[in-house]
Amino acid sequence: MDEKRIVRSELRWVFVVAAAVTLMLVVIVATTLANALHPPSNVETIDPATLHIAGEFTEANLGTQENADGTVTVRLIATQYAFVPRCLPVPEGRPVSIRVTSPDVIHGFIVAGTNANTMVVPGFVAELTTEFDEPGDHLMPCHEYCGLGHSNMWAVLRVVPEEEWIPDANGRMTCELVP
């Protein structure tokens, strides 16, 4: 085997590898754009020390809100060791924006079995927009270690079929957990 042949075979392989990697990137970029999938990247700051006193995340504002255009916004707080509120109703098959932040430490937000997923970092509001197509209760465990009570930090996201979706006069919707 002479050296030239070895180098040639390596270069051929480099070419194959480069092509494969390029193809992979194209697929990733294309699917991301086509599905408009955007992980939370809004870079919006908030003071964790005062968020319960004034502004968007005071207790009265938390929960599910139907907006004038029919879209829905859910505001919640992840705090040691619970999500507030603990039950989140959302309509089936409509765009839902979830806005979540933390007054204390880092938490995680995931709706099991869906792509609704974000870190919750104190000092920042995480926002993600998605649709839920499967009616029923979905578990919502905190997925980042936040202290010894972390394993018990679970909430429920309840996907409500359109015909049962009846918000109150202010567009608010709540739900109760069956114990």
With CB under 8 A as the contact rule, the residue among 151, 164, 174, 176 that binds another protein is 151
The interface with another protein within residues 87-126 (CB under 8 A) comprises 102, 104-106, 108, 110-126
Query: Is the CB of residue 74 less than 8 Å from the CB of residue 160?
Result: no
CA distance 25 to 10: 22
Please identify, using beta-carbon distances, which residue of 89 and 122 lies nearer to another protein.
122
Stretch that binds another protein, among 58-66, 87-95, 137-145, 159-167 (CB under 8 A): 137-145
Choice between 70 and 149, CB closer to another protein? 149
Binding residue (CB under 8 A) for another protein from 18, 58, 59, 162: 18
Strand partners, 154: 141
Beta bridge partners of 172: 65
CB 65 within 8 A of CB 172: yes
The binder of 170, among Cu ion, another protein, none, by C-beta within 5 to 8 A per type, is none
The separation between CA 52 and the C-alpha centre of its own chain, rounded to angstroms, equals: 21
Stretch that binds Cu ion, among 47-55, 68-76, 96-104, 146-154 (CB under 5 A): 146-154
What is the sign of the dihedral through the CA atoms of 166, 169, 97 and 63? Answer: negative
Residues engaged in binding Cu ion (CB under 5 A): 107, 142, 146, 150, 153
